[in-house]
Structure 1
Amino acid sequence: MEFLLSTAIGLLTAAGVYLALRARTWPVVLGLTMLSYATNLFLFATGRLVLNQPPVISPDVVAYTDPLPQALVLTAIVISFGMTAVIVVMALRSFLESGSDHVDGQDKPVPAENRETTEGRA
């Protein structure tokens, strides 16, 4: 089980780094999302992989599972969702302004008459 989880974390991290280094915005967004998934799995795995054990220590329980990584993962899920939403909006706005989804703006822009105008929008 530990090998499977560590392999999944490694593959998600490798794919996330590869996509985050791409020159287009949407692969970068997907790469950051995969990196956040890998981080969530890593945080969850730090709580020891224990089955059918209570998260609360009591005098009659010999083994328990750590509830802190679960709370950290829930917090990380909310933060990564918000971060992804902000990055998607920024990428969309950048595409509408420049006519290109290239990260550094070096791609050929779409002519102004072929793209939607953004004047008057917030």
Structure 2
Amino acid sequence: MSLKIRLARRGTKKRPFYAIVVADARSPRDGRFIEKLGTYNPMLGKDQKRHDVDVEKAKAWLSKGAQPTDRVARFFDAEGLMTREARSNPEKAKPGRKAVERAAARAEKAGAAAPAEG
């Protein structure tokens, strides 16, 4: 049985609030879980602390082999429980095929208009 430390949504419509839980990887996001480790409130301002984690429980579950999701790993990194290396995907920042075609057409149109002016 693989265990995940992940977020389970507990908020109402358009007011998200999450519980940080340990659950079986096969169970649904908001379904059955084993233990609650903390909370995450994304509605709070960035100057406030948005997450609250029970560090001792989290250490115990990590030692038992539970794998945190990416978002929870960010919280654990902020708490000093684990280190998470920064990810970078430069391919994602590149414009798509249609955007490249539009930019080329715009450049061609601007190039054709420049000699006509002179």
Q: TM-score, normalised to structure 1's length? A: 0.27
Structure number, greater radius of gyration: 2
The structure with more helix, counted as a fraction of residues: 1
> Comparing both structures, which one devotes a greater share of its residues to strand?
2
